[in-house]
């Protein structure tokens, strides 16, 4: 497994919110080419409160143990668009199998997926479902 993101203090989420509301379009072509930045909240790609800040959400993928390379999931991590939805059908067979493998392993161990992001999982039974932590990790 390769973890992209796990616990994130609320202050970090606040920075995402600030970024989503500014006019900087630097990474648009890579991460959200077909989504208007101002719609990232409305379309569910960014939230002002995150499971990451509750310590119950993780963003991850599977790597090939032999090569150390990520399995092909059809999009890059943090790609905002239909192509990242777990139900997106217009990907090849290997990409579908890789996504299914990730989904089945995470569900087996008590995580539920976010429909819009193949990499995003939250504990089904969260220990702190209504608490958003803001402590630093150093």
DSSP 8-state class, residue 131 = -
Concerning whether 89 is annotated as a catalytic residue, the answer is no
Which of 70, 82, 89, 117 does the annotation list as catalytic? Answer: 117
Task: Name residues whose C-beta falls within 8 Å of residue 116's C-beta, 6 or more positions apart in sequence.
Answer: 43, 44, 45, 80, 84, 85
| Structure tokens belonging to residue 36 | 């208007």
Task: Name residues whose C-beta falls within 8 Å of residue 92's C-beta, 6 or more positions apart in sequence.
Answer: 74
DSSP 8-state class, residue 98 = H
Residues classed as catalytic: 117
């Amino acid at each position: 497994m390769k973890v992209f993101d796990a616990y994130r203090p609320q202050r970090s989420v606040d920075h995402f919110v600030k970024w989503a509301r500014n006019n900087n379009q630097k990474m648009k072509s890579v991460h959200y080419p077909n989504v208007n930045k101002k719609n990232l909240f409305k379309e569910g790609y960014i939230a002002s409160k995150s499971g990451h800040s509750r310590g119950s959400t993780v963003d991850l993928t599977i790597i090939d143990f032999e090569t150390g390379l990520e399995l092909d999931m059809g999009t890059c991590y943090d790609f905002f668009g239909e192509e990242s939805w777990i139900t997106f059908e217009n990907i090849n067979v290997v990409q579908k199998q890789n996504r299914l493998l990730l989904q089945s392993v995470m569900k087996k161990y008590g995580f539920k997926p976010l429909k819009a992001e193949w990499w995003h999982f939250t504990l089904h039974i969260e220990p702190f479902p209504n608490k958003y932590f803001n402590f630093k990790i150093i």
